[in-house]
Amino acid sequence: MNSGEKKLVTISWIILSVSLLIWLFPIIWFLLASFKNPRNLYDIFSFEFSLYNYYEVFNTYPIATYMKNSLILAVLACLFAVTIGTLIAYGLSHTRFRFKTQTTIFIFLIRLIPGMAVMVPLFIIFSSLGLTNTYPGLIIAHTSMSIPLVVIIMLGYLSDFPKELLDAAYIDGCNRFSVIFLIVFPLIKPGLAVVAIFTFIGSWNNFDISLILGYMPEYKTLPVGLAGMGNKYGILWHHIAAAGAVYIVPTVIMAIALSKYVISGLTAGAIKG
Amino acid sequence: MRFINNSNLFGATLIIPGVLLLSLFYLYPLLYSLYISLHDFRLIRPDLTEFVGFRNYFEIFLDEEFLNAFFNTLIYVGIALPFELVIGLFLALALDKITRGKNVIRAFLIVPQFLAPLAMGFIWKFMYNDDLGIINFFLRYVGIERPPLWIADPAISLYSCIIVEIWACVPIFMLLLSAGLTTLSSEIIDAAKIDGANAYHRFRYIILPHLKPIILVTLLIRGMDSFRIFDLIYGLTQGGPAMSSDVLSLYMYRSGMLDRQFGFAASAGWIMVFMMLIASYILIKVMYRDGINKQ
């Protein structure tokens, strides 16, 4: 390594350190604010640790209900979307379904559609079916939202899947369905883990669907609840900070702890998609 | 020779239920929205709904609120995308140069990608705040007496939103481009070095052409996500003050859900869908053309 190269490495380290600061500071600063005594919130550098914000926000708003709703939706939508999406991807990559190309194009096109263009008419349709402010309605919406990404990522994993294994299992007495559940699913576990993380976080982070289809207090998810806090009484920053921390910490931890999966999923989804 | 009989019918049983669900959730609302956009739609009195042809589409282009949201969205995407690409590429190159700690840095830099956009909006609203935000505290500290009112000033609120959008999306550009860089074999770079190519030449004639397909795909995906941005701006400004940071998705939400102007909301939706189709068609054409040239 010559001196010019060494200099480049040093410069790279400086750039990366600065960017780590830029990208992590706002998040850390926000989380710190949630532990700050609200009395000195306006005093930028004084920090007195207190859990008062959390105490107050849990007592003022039904945060536990919001969390429960967010969790139910994220878990169930994840389960359904991963199953349905993987079956579609398997159908597209390993069967002689006649409309493979059309279906693939359909699913890719769906990713282009702006959410809001669907949400307003969907609100009217769901209202007339009585599906707004119900768990089934919200779960259907969250599931459908996640399916296209599952299909696109799983197509990547499944198109490399050795066909000989399917034949071997079939000869050994599996039927066509049990091949999928006994042979394919266990062998693509890493891929399933990736899409499960993505759909879970996707539902957890989703705001527009929940805002439009679940606006009654008992069906609000965390983000909808959070958005409501911002407007009603002006801005009570100590509430927002505590509720916001409750909302973002799970995803931040997931993203860092599962970064290996998460990074492979992001690259697979975008490059192959 | 295949043994397992994965016939057309079997494929259909796997695919059709999911596709039906997607049609119910995407296709049907879109077609319904086309119907709404071509009618004078009354939710409460369906009997008064009458066919008006393209009137909603003509009228919407006379609606100042729509035009404002329309151009704001174009500015938003047009400014954010190039910055995201350049900064992301820059970081990807820096990441490619270091050897140790690469994965750790990548894992931490990617965190904003997994934050809810709404939460990002609040996080930055907190940073931008004039009284208790750290940015203006710092600016006052270094002697600027009247620092900008980031999101409270109609003249700059859109640009403050764009800064957050760039902050939010640089990580994904960095990640994808750095994934692209790792597939570039070092032998090619070494060969170029021996042939006397300097750093600029290596970047311009080897690295950039290699990354081109990834850049185009990322621009396409990110461009569309920015185009339909909703949560982030909802959290930051809700389109205000005085509609200065209003974008199309917010316009649709407001006109459809709050003002009950379903005709306008549906027309705006179809205008967005149409623009997205054109943009992605052009980009895919470009990618396809490049693919042909390479062979």
ipTM of the complex: 0.88
Strands (E), A130-188: none
Distance, CA of A110 to CA of B206 (rounded, Å):
35
> Residue B214: pLDDT band by 50, 70, 90 thresholds?
confident
- Quick one: which of B141, B164, B140, B139 has its CA closest to B151? B164
Alpha helices in A179-236 (DSSP H): 185-187, 189-205, 208-213, 222-232
Distances in whole angstroms, Cα of residue B262 to Cα of each of A94, B52, B258? 43, 13, 10
Residues B114, A252: C-beta atoms closer than 8 Å: yes
> Residue B62: pLDDT band by 50, 70, 90 thresholds?
confident
- Nearest CA-CA distance, residue B155 and chain A, Å: 22
> Residue B295: pLDDT band by 50, 70, 90 thresholds?
very low
Q: What is the CATH number of the domain that holds B193?
A: 1.10.3720.10
* pLDDT, average across residues B256-263: 84
Task: Provide the pLDDT for residue A173.
Answer: 80
Q: With a cut of 50, say whether residue B236 has pLDDT above it.
A: yes
What part of A 101-140 touches B (C-beta under 8 Å)? 103, 106-107, 110-125, 140
* pLDDT, average across residues B147-166: 90
Contacts of B43 in chain A (CB under 8 A): 124
Q: Among residues of chain A, what percentage have pLDDT more than 90?
A: 29
Domain range A52-272, CATH class = mainly alpha
- CB of B186 within 8 Å of a chain A CB? The answer is no
Q: With a cut of 90, say whether residue A239 has pLDDT above it.
A: no
Task: Provide the pLDDT for residue B168.
Answer: 92
Q: With a cut of 80, say whether residue B256 has pLDDT above it.
A: yes
SS3 A102: helix
The chain B residue lying nearest A4, using CA atoms, is B199
Instruction: Examine residue B180 and state whether it is found in any structural domain, yes or no.
Output: yes
Quick: pLDDT tens for A132-141: 899 999 999 9
Instruction: Examine residue B145 and state whether it is found in any structural domain, yes or no.
Output: yes
Average pLDDT over all residues of chain A: 86
Question: Please, are residues A154 and A163 in contact by the beta-carbon 8 Å criterion?
Answer: no
Task: Provide the pLDDT for residue B157.
Answer: 92
Neighbouring residues of A136: CB distance < 8 A, sequence distance ≥ 6: none
Q: With a cut of 80, say whether residue B18 has pLDDT above it.
A: yes
Task: Provide the pLDDT for residue A230.
Answer: 58
- Residue in B33, B95, B235 closest to A117 by CB: B33
Task: Provide the pLDDT for residue A80.
Answer: 95
Token reading at B42: 């009354």
Task: Provide the pLDDT for residue A231.
Answer: 55
Instruction: Examine residue B107 and state whether it is found in any structural domain, yes or no.
Output: yes
Task: Provide the pLDDT for residue A272.
Answer: 44
Distances in whole angstroms, Cα of residue B79 to Cα of each of B36, B154, B174? 33, 18, 18
The number of domains in chain B is 1
Q: Which stretch of DSSP H or E encloses residue B158? A: helix B157-182
Distance, CA of B26 to CA of A117 (rounded, Å):
9
Task: Provide the pLDDT for residue B291.
Answer: 58
**What domain range is B227 assigned to?**
64-294
Instruction: Give the residue extent of every domain in chain A.
Output: 3-34, 52-272
Quick: pLDDT tens for A29-88: 999 888 888 777 777 777 778 888 888 888 888 899 999 999 999 999 999 999 999 999
Token reading at A261: 């999966």
The chain A residue lying nearest B134, using CA atoms, is A44
Residues B115, A13: C-beta atoms closer than 8 Å: no
Distance, CA of A118 to CA of A208 (rounded, Å):
11
Quick: pLDDT tens for B92-136: 989 888 888 888 888 888 888 889 999 999 999 989 988 888 888
Q: With a cut of 70, say whether residue A156 has pLDDT above it.
A: yes
